[in-house]
A and B are shown apart, each in its own frame.
Chain A
Amino acid sequence: MTKTTMPRSGSWGLKLSSEKDNSALPPAREVAIPDMLTVLLRQSAGAASIATVAPGESVLKGQTIAMPAKTGFGSYLHSPVAGHVLEVRNGSRDAGGPVIVIKNDRSERLHPDCQPVRNPLNRSPRFLRERIAAGGIVGLGGALFPTEVKLNPAPGIKTLIINGVECEPYINCDNQLLQEEPHAVLSGAQIMLQVLGANEAIVAIEQEMTHAIECMLAANTRLNDPRIRIVVVPDIYPGGGERQLIETLTGLQVPRGGLTADLGIVCQNAGTAAAIDHLITRGEPLISRLLTVAGNCSAAPANFRVRIGTPVSALVEAVANTPPTRIVMGGAMMGIPVTDSEQPVSKATNCLLLLNNNALTPMPTEMPCIRCGDCVPVCPAGINPQLLLESTVIRDVKQSKELGALDCIDCGCCDYVCPSGIDLTARFKLSKQTIWEQHLLTLRAERLEQRFAGHETRRLNKEQAERDRLAAQTAGFKDVSTDSKPALDAMLKRLKSDRNKNSSDKAPD
């Protein structure tokens, strides 16, 4: 089978130095599984999952320990090791929710529920989706969107895209996967085609991942499924973004506020495809993942297969040759600094950068925007960062929405090119949060206006009822208000004369 090479679809993006090895990689290394693992309950885009085990309970490897919350897009979570639950507690701010701490008893006993599915390609889509959900499979490209939801779109999906475009510098784990387990990726693609009822799958790989392309081509030829083909895309960052990849492959743009399913396309990460294969054909739920450890404090960049819940410190210990002063979870462009070294690896962790001051350049002092416009052509989402910055700083939520703040994918291209050194991505993240917060407040305001209206109606009715009651009580009374003075005078005179009469009647003691 041959591959197709696509040209660039626009002028967006940056050509960055990849900082990774694209030749044949050695097999992924294992890291010693630590004594204690911390599973974050918030490992997907939606609400935190709910623990289904209690402290003290013993668990087997692959046992379900949490289920998705009813609201929002959550996922099932499984124990990465056999052992027992030490505690279920609130996590740190970075954890974003509660955590389950599990003590490893090193027995590696597997839970009996972890069974493969026989004849997966003859099963109904619904059955496969339920298995995928129960296996805790979420999007491993970084967004952690529950896969069974993505595989259940409106009918009319024609194309499945397997995203092997690992564009961010340093991150190399999908490269490892495509070289080591190409058959797993293709098998996962076949299962997903069965679920979606689609008849075309494209495996997209970056041009410079030369050995990975060869491995995938060979595997695809062996598999001989005419529905699946390999397509090579130019290595521009952030070409691996879902919408950017679709634009490169098909020339179509996903409409603002729309989904890829609107174009009849579903896009899944290559790691997700392999995870689906492991689950369906081997019965393994998602309890481990490949990640890259790189940076100048590690001996050489290498890929590791790591259990979910392994603390970052365990990896640093295993790999660092000098102590890092800065640890980044993620790649060079979108990575987030790790503040707590006990922070565990989650399903989203694709890379750890161990850095010290020799690798870091100091942050430039921010200077005012000079309207050079360098940021405009590089934005892959078609936003004008210069105008969006203006409306963000003056807190104009309506204008920010119109300028496309919600389309921003946080890729960091705009602040990479800004000559004034403005941290645009951080401001756009704040802008998106503000828009979301305003949306929540507007919903609340609409609800409260109705409650207030109800409150006021009841209050006015109560006051009116009180007035009516008083009127009814005093209805028979003579209205003394018009001739009050003479009537009052007469009454007072009568009282006085009564009192005088009584006092005079009283016999002195």
Chain B
Amino acid sequence: MTELILIIIGTVLVNNLVLTRFLGLCPFVGASTSIEAAFGMSAATTFVLTLTSALAWLLNTWLLEPFELGYLRLICFILVIAGTVQFTEIFIRSTQPMLHQMLGIFLPLITTNCAVLGVALLITQEPTRFIDAVAYGLGGGLGFGLVIVLFAGLRERLQAADVPGPFRGSAIALVTAGFMALAFMGFAGLTGT
């Protein structure tokens, strides 16, 4: 049990997908213009990450490893990710139409989010249990959600702020993200890894 908690804390704070490993930067900057969109995006990404990690582990352990089809890993994972994201989009489009409007193109772009593929490949590289794989996925999603919501809050304040001309728009956003990454460096060594 402690192992699972350590994995989750590790993935959320120490090895944060966005601010420490610099994966998933596209939706991080693109879907953080408002806090509502950030919550929606993080919920969708967490769902996709967790489900994909579980399915990737199962696929790897039951089909790819036993039949020595490891070279098909990439294609299979991308198929699974694309399917999961499409399912998520269909579901959101039906139940939360305004969220779908708010996220726009970034919802299907979760497919190309390197964080999702990254976590899937990560758990297949080391020997892990099924529950560990799910924990990695969940922790990755929660970490992504934490930082995107924080970033969205900062960007909402930046909209009304008196930003100097050359910095307006994405420049000040990236500077802010850089400061956040610096802050998260302070978590290094928290879980002993």
A contacts, CB < 8 Å to B = 368-369, 390-391, 393-394
Contact = CB atoms under 8 A, between A and B. Distances in A.
B96 interface: no
B159 A394 contact: yes
B69 interface: no
Nearest to A392: B160
Most buried by A among B157, B159, B160: B160
Nearest to A370: B162
Contacts of B159: 394
A429 to B, nearest CB: 19
Contacts of B162: 368-369
Contacts of A393: 160
Contacts of A394: 159-160
Query: What 6 A-B pairs have minimum CB-CB distances, sorted nearest first?
Result: A390-B160, A394-B160, A368-B162, A393-B160, A394-B159, A391-B160
A440 to B, nearest CB: 25
A60 B87 CA distance: 82
Contacts of A368: 162
A394 B158 CA distance: 11
Interface in B146-164: 157, 159-162
A391 B162 CA distance: 13
A369 B161 CA distance: 9
A394 B161 CA distance: 10
A174 B162 CA distance: 45
Interface residues on B, range: under 10
Nearest to B162: A368
A394 B159 CA distance: 8
Nearest to A390: B160
A431 to B, nearest CB: 13
9 contacts: A368-B162, A369-B162, A390-B157, A390-B160, A390-B161, A391-B160, A393-B160, A394-B159, A394-B160
A393 B160 CA distance: 7
A368 B160 CA distance: 12
A10 B34 CA distance: 34
A390 B157 CA distance: 8
Given A390-B157, A390-B161, A393-B160, 6 more contacts: A368-B162, A369-B162, A390-B160, A391-B160, A394-B159, A394-B160
A91 B159 CA distance: 43
A393 B162 CA distance: 11
A391 B160 CA distance: 7
Interface string B155-184: 001011110000000000000000000000
Contacts of B157: 390
B78 to A, nearest CB: 41
A369 B163 CA distance: 12
A368 B159 CA distance: 15
B113 to A, nearest CB: 30
Contacts of B160: 390-391, 393-394
A343 to B, nearest CB: 38
Most buried by B among A369, A390, A393: A390
Interface in B36-92: none
Contacts of B161: 390
Interface in B97-133: none
B152 to A, nearest CB: 14
B129 to A, nearest CB: 46
A125 B80 CA distance: 76
Nearest to B157: A390
Nearest to B160: A390
A390 B161 CA distance: 7
A345 B160 CA distance: 42
B33 to A, nearest CB: 13
A384 to B, nearest CB: 12
A406 to B, nearest CB: 20
A369 to B, nearest CB: 8
A369 B157 CA distance: 13
A450 B157 CA distance: 38
B153 to A, nearest CB: 12
A30 to B, nearest CB: 53
A25 B94 CA distance: 74
B156 to A, nearest CB: 9
Contacts of A391: 160
A393 B161 CA distance: 10
Contacts of A369: 162
B6 to A, nearest CB: 38
Nearest to B161: A390
A2 B160 CA distance: 53
Nearest to A369: B162
A393 B157 CA distance: 12
Contacts of A390: 157, 160-161
B157 to A, nearest CB: 7
A391 B157 CA distance: 9
A189 B80 CA distance: 78
A391 B159 CA distance: 10
A183 B51 CA distance: 79
B16 to A, nearest CB: 28
A394 B162 CA distance: 11
A91 to B, nearest CB: 39
A223 to B, nearest CB: 56
Nearest to A396: B160
A394 B160 CA distance: 6
A208 B157 CA distance: 43
A368 B161 CA distance: 10
A420 B161 CA distance: 15
A59 B159 CA distance: 61
B130 to A, nearest CB: 44
A249 to B, nearest CB: 37
A96 B157 CA distance: 38
B169 to A, nearest CB: 15
A390 B163 CA distance: 13
A368 B163 CA distance: 11
A491 B157 CA distance: 80
